[in-house]
Amino acid sequence: MVESTFDYIVVGGGAAGCVLAARLAADSNKSVVLIERGRADTNRWIHIPATFFKALQSEDAEAVHSEADPSLDGAVYPVPQGRVLGGGSSVNGMIYMRGQPQDYNDWESRYGCEGWAYKDVLPVFIRQENNQRLSNKFHGTSGKLCVADPTPPHPVSKAVIEAATNYGLPATDDFNGAKQEGVGWYQVTAFEGQRQSSAQCFLKPELHRENLTLLTGVLAERIRFNNKRAVALEARSEDGRELLIHARSEIILTAGSFQSPKLLMLSGIGPREQLVKHGITPVHYSPLVGANYQDHVGTPVTRELTGVKGLYGADKGAQALKHGISYFAAKRGLLNSNLLDAGACVDTSGCGRPDVQFNIAPFAPGAPGTPPMACHAVQVHPMTMRPTSRSRLGLKSSDPNDAPLFESTALDTEADFDTLRRGIRLAQRIFQTLPLRELVGDEIWPGVNVSTIKGSNTLDDAIRAQARTIFHPAGTCAMGSGDNAVLDAELQVRGVENLRVADCSVMPALVSGNTNAPTMMIADRCADFILGLDGVF
């Protein structure tokens, strides 16, 4: 066994871990080790914006597959996740969206997470951001995270935006400003032909520091405790060596919504029935570890294109060669694009805040983990923004190599079904509006054989068959004020000492939008708590 000692152990080198480890090393004289079970982000598909779907199909991503989901007629529900330095920020679609102010106000007022209201988190978003266009009370220009407009904007996406505004949706040039509602171009974490991942923006500029150590290809197996105090991490390298890494100060889990609760349970923190079932010595019974799982669920309304081209075939043959030359010679052209370049946030229920997000893109998406469909097409992809369905994670065994037990009920509530029904119908109306209606042909999904009128059973059946993750799992180590909450408001694991969680799993309720930016914000706030800097900006 190889032993080592550091002040801080950060477990998980994803979007959160890269931010947190970099901050702890840069803003203190303490030693920090960042542990990532995947490899370094050397895959070229990671760094070219338009090739993120290739990165998702590589060894740098893995899918967690659910048990049969009763809400989806028994289908298995796969959720791909990054397994590489940078985590999701290295393989995602690079959309920069923070969510709505009320999301964070609800964290404080409804869930008892004091200090997490919008007024508390906005300064963190601002200080992280290096926005290439916007500079106002909502945006920063001197941070490490480069945020820019998508390039080049695709003409098919432009036609969708025009059709949506002609239909009556308001236009917006900032989904993270005074209000989220509207249709327009996303801002993205890509700039000048380079993905702006948390590894690229936050971690790599600090790796020269003597007090920062990065270990890739290392699987965290269990946390060791001395009574209730977290003191060390048991881990294993790719070549099978046993590692014991001691922590003088704290251990912080940033391994994501699947792996962080799994590691807590393997270490003796979790529901009694899970620990007993797998013969794990209990350290603290925490009934909500692995509970409260939630994700945005989508159903991409898709039409064929007629007379104009989308992105089909752009990665093959002469087209691929042309785009490659343009990119590598001058950082121009399609490979600069994140492909998911436009979107909308719409209040379809009249509740006063957007409840459906639409991704707009000139291609036909395949199922999660598969390439786009083989035709020129355009999607207007509705998804639930504040899902009410909840799933649960457990353990399959006490073996750290096993994936967690994923008991999915992705569409378990009528409210979520109704949100998707409204989103689908609105997408179809946008397709019927000029100038888009002159560019599209047959409907690929839901298709001519599916009735979308109210009360249609065929629509509900189609939704169950088509429903897919938007890659935003959250909530499985939720913070809150109650004794049963997994974490307190400073992200400390209740019932033990010197152990925190700081990733998407801490959200008591999923934010209304993409989760990459909020996850990096959470990690930055955790650094504030550890360093005693909360409220100092």
Task: Render pLDDT for 456-487 as a digit per residue (tens, 0 to 9).
Answer: 889 999 999 999 999 999 999 999 998 999 99
Calculate what percentage of the chain has a pLDDT beyond 70. 99
Q: Using pLDDT thresholds of 50, 70 and 90, give the confidence band for residue 534.
A: low
Measured CA to CA, the distance from residue 446 to residue 452 in angstroms comes to: 8
Residue 76 is predicted with a pLDDT of 97
CA–CA–CA angle 429, 431, 433 (5° rounding): 75
Is 70 exceeded by the pLDDT of residue 423? yes
Find, among 432, 421, 504, the residue nearest to 457 by Cα: 421
**What are the angstrom distances between the C-alpha of 485 and each of 80, 237, 502, 503?**
27, 33, 14, 16
Does pTM surpass 0.85?
A: yes
How does 331-354 read in b/e, with b if 16+ C-beta sit within 10 Å? eebbbbbbbbbbbbbbbbeeeebb
Measured CA to CA, the distance from residue 48 to residue 192 in angstroms comes to: 10
Domains annotated for the chain, with CATH where assigned, are: 1-148+195-295+390-406+473-537 (3.50.50.60), 151-185+297-384+412-466 (3.30.410.40)
Bridge partners, residue 191, by sequence: 194
Residue 537 is predicted with a pLDDT of 43
Q: Are the beta carbons of 26 and 204 closer than 8 angstroms? A: no
The pLDDT tens digits for 142-181 are 999 999 999 888 999 999 999 999 999 999 999 999 999 9
Residue 536 is predicted with a pLDDT of 47
Element (H, E) at 499: strand 499-501
Is 50 exceeded by the pLDDT of residue 363? yes
The two structure tokens encoding residue 257: 């919504």
Bridge partners, residue 229, by sequence: 226, 497
Is 90 exceeded by the pLDDT of residue 509? yes
Residue 526 is predicted with a pLDDT of 98
Measured CA to CA, the distance from residue 113 to residue 205 in angstroms comes to: 32
Amino acid identity, residue 204? K
Q: Are the beta carbons of 238 and 59 closer than 8 angstroms? A: no
Is 70 exceeded by the pLDDT of residue 535? no
Measured CA to CA, the distance from residue 203 to residue 15 in angstroms comes to: 10
Find, among 264, 349, 252, the residue nearest to 13 by Cα: 252
Name the more confident of 316 and 260: 260
The pLDDT tens digits for 182-198 are 999 999 999 999 999 99
Name the more confident of 92 and 364: 92
Mean pLDDT to the nearest integer, 53-64: 94
Measured CA to CA, the distance from residue 35 to residue 472 in angstroms comes to: 22
Strand extents, DSSP E, 57-201: 61-65, 78-82, 129-131, 145-147, 182-185, 190-191, 194-195
Residue 323 is predicted with a pLDDT of 86
Bridge partners, residue 213, by sequence: 33
Amino acid identity, residue 258? F
Q: Are the beta carbons of 23 and 524 closer than 8 angstroms? A: yes
Name the more confident of 94 and 333: 94
Is 80 exceeded by the pLDDT of residue 75? yes
Measured CA to CA, the distance from residue 72 to residue 415 in angstroms comes to: 15
Mean pLDDT to the nearest integer, 34-58: 95
Residue owning tokens 């048991």: 234
Find, among 102, 104, 80, the residue nearest to 93 by Cα: 80
Is 60 exceeded by the pLDDT of residue 77? yes
Element (H, E) at 3: strand 2-11
The pLDDT tens digits for 237-275 are 999 999 999 999 999 999 999 999 999 999 999 999 999
**Mean pLDDT (the chain, rounded):** 96
Mean pLDDT to the nearest integer, 71-99: 97
Name the more confident of 314 and 221: 221
**What are the angstrom distances between the C-alpha of 176 and each of 105, 442, 504?**
15, 35, 19
Residue owning tokens 């100060």: 249
How would you classify the pairing of strands 269-270 and 284-285? parallel
Sequence-ordered list of residues with C-beta below 8 angstroms from that of 501, at least 6 positions apart, any chain: 252, 253, 254, 260, 264, 477, 486, 487, 491, 493
Is 70 exceeded by the pLDDT of residue 365? yes
Catalytic site positions: 472
First to last CA, the chain: 42
